[in-house]
Every structure is written in structure tokens, then in C-alpha cells.
């Protein structure tokens, strides 16, 4: 039997659990993740995960944190590497954000779904999300200094921008948007509207 190198001890069960849970989530949604099922898929008993995570929620939090890391990496690449004007970069960042959500819907849902992750506070999760926000704020500051968008509280502007892309991603994922609609066009129009709104203020009232 050459099937298991480490025999009794798994080697790195913790990492394997997070990886496998992520795979199951993208295959069958968060509901398909069961302590029994995940153990069975890894050739391990149902209670084995409890040596590495206090409960199921903690495991899911680890999966969500890993999701934030991947999303962060992707956004970081698009905000520094891309060509074109700097506003173009901000737009590209928004696009990458929405595409990530569309490519990993169940994972994205888990990252933001407070319901699935119980009512408790999970500091690591909060921090992973905060890193993303801080990065966005930094990018916005740069654009402010170049006079490309209005100089208001960059944190507020970041929240507005985040709301726009998160809202679009969320509605698309939850199939609230007509599937016949051209996603790329809608994405373009969203970032366009957002950037115009951030740049020129004036009064929209009256």
C-alpha cells in the first residue's frame, strides 16, 4: 500500500483541510461542506479536523481568509502592473474585483456572508478584509494627488467605490441580473459611472 506516505499521521492536515474545503465549496456550495464529507475525502475520520480547528466555523473562516488573500494578490497585480492612464488602473482594479467574484461565487459569498460564519467576531477575517480596504484607499489617494478625482475623505470614497463593485458582483452572483445582459458592458458602465461620479462633484441636487 503505497497510497499514504505518512501512514497514521497525515503530514499537513490543516492545510489539506482548508484546500479541500475550498474545493468542495466551489463544487457544491458552502452547504456541501460537512465535517464527515471533508474527512472522508481526505481519508480521515470525521473528528480529525477538530485537532486543527475548534469547530466548523473556524475552518470556514480559514477558507474565507485564504480567499481574501487570493483576491488581494489579484488586485495588487492589477493596480500596479496595468498600462494606460492611472484612472484606467483604478477601473481595471474594479473589473478584476468583479471577475474574481464571478469566477469564485461560493467562495466570495463565504467571504462576505456573516450568516454562514455565525455571529461571532473573527479578527483574522476582519483583518484580511481590512488589508483590501487599505490598499484601495491608498490607490484612491494617489489619484487624488494627481487631481483625477475630487479631494474628499479618501476612506469615504473607497467605501463608495467598494459598494459599487461589491453590489454588482453580489447581484450577478445571486442571479438577480438578467442573464441575457452583457456582463462586460454592465461592468464598464458601472466603473464609468463611478469614476465620473468620483471625479466631478458639483451638486446633483436641483
Partner DNA sequence: GGGTGTATGTTGACGCCGTCAACAACGTCG
Partner DNA sequence: CGACGTTGTTGACGGCGTCAACATACACCC
Q: Does 174 help bind its own copies (rule: CB under 8 A)?
A: yes
Q: Which is nearer to its own copies, 10 or 157 (CB)?
A: 157
Contacts with its own copies by CB under 8 A: the residue count is 58
d(CA 133, CA 127): 10
Burial of residue 125, with CB atoms counted within 10 A of its CB: 0-12 exposed, 13-18 middle, 19 or more buried: buried
Neighbours of 115 (CB within 10 A): 9
d(CA 74, CA 143): 20
Q: Which is nearer to DNA, 46 or 146 (CB)?
A: 46
What 8-state DSSP symbol labels residue 52? T
CA-nearest of 132, 56, 57 to 100 is: 132
Q: Looking only at residues 114 through 133 of this chain, which bind its own copies when binding is defined by CB under 8 A?
A: 114-116, 118-119, 129
Residues 6+ positions from 100 with CB-CB distance below 8 Å: 70, 71, 74, 108
Partner from DNA, its own copies, none contacting 159, C-beta within 5 to 8 A by type: its own copies
Q: Does 40 help bind its own copies (rule: CB under 8 A)?
A: no
What 8-state DSSP symbol labels residue 58? H
Q: Does 51 help bind DNA (rule: CB under 7 A)?
A: yes
Cell 480547528 identifies what position? Answer: 53
Q: Looking only at residues 30 through 49 of this chain, which bind DNA when binding is defined by CB under 7 A?
A: 33-37, 39, 44-48
Q: Which is nearer to DNA, 48 or 142 (CB)?
A: 48
d(CA 26, CA 165): 21
Partner from DNA, its own copies, none contacting 180, C-beta within 5 to 8 A by type: none
Q: Which is nearer to DNA, 8 or 84 (CB)?
A: 8
d(CA 58, CA 52): 9
Q: Which is nearer to DNA, 117 or 187 (CB)?
A: 117
Q: Which is nearer to DNA, 45 or 189 (CB)?
A: 45
At its nearest, how many Å lie between DNA and the CB of residue 60?
Answer: 10
Question: 89-92: long-range contacts at Cβ-Cβ below 8 A with a sequence spacing of 24 or more?
Answer: 89/139, 90/139, 90/140, 90/143, 90/161, 90/195, 91/191, 91/192, 91/195
Site residues, DNA (CB under 7 A): 6-10, 13, 33-37, 39, 44-48, 50-52, 54-57
Q: Which residues bind its own copies (CB under 8 A)?
A: 29-31, 84-85, 87-88, 91, 106, 109, 112-116, 118-119, 129, 152, 155-157, 159-160, 162-168, 170-171, 173-178, 181, 185-186, 189-190, 192-202, 204-206
Amino acid at each position: 500500500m503505497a497510497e499514504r506516505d505518512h501512514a497514521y499521521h497525515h503530514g499537513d492536515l490543516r492545510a489539506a483541510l482548508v484546500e479541500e474545503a475550498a474545493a468542495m465549496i466551489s463544487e457544491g456550495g458552502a452547504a456541501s461542506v460537512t465535517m464527515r464529507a471533508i474527512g472522508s475525502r481526505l481519508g480521515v475520520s470525521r473528528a480529525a479536523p477538530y485537532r486543527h480547528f475548534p469547530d466548523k466555523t473556524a475552518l470556514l473562516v480559514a477558507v474565507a481568509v485564504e480567499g481574501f488573500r487570493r483576491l488581494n494578490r489579484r488586485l495588487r497585480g492589477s493596480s500596479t502592473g496595468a498600462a494606460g492612464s492611472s484612472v484606467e488602473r483604478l477601473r481595471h482594479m474594479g473589473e478584476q474585483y468583479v471577475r474574481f467574484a464571478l469566477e469564485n461565487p461560493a467562495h466570495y459569498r463565504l467571504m462576505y456572508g456573516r450568516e454562514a460564519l455565525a455571529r461571532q467576531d473573527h479578527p483574522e477575517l476582519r483583518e484580511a478584509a481590512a488589508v483590501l480596504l487599505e490598499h484601495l484607499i491608498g490607490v484612491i489617494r494617489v489619484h487624488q494627488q494627481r487631481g483625477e478625482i475630487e479631494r474628499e475623505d479618501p476612506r469615504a470614497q473607497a467605501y463608495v467605490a467598494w459598494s459599487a463593485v461589491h453590489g454588482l458582483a453580489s447581484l450577478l452572483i445571486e442571479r438577480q441580473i438578467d442573464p441575457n445582459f452583457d456582463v462586460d458592458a454592465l461592468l464598464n458602465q458601472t466603473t464609468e459611472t463611478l469614476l465620473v461620479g468620483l471625479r466631478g462633484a458639483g451638486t446633483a441636487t436641483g
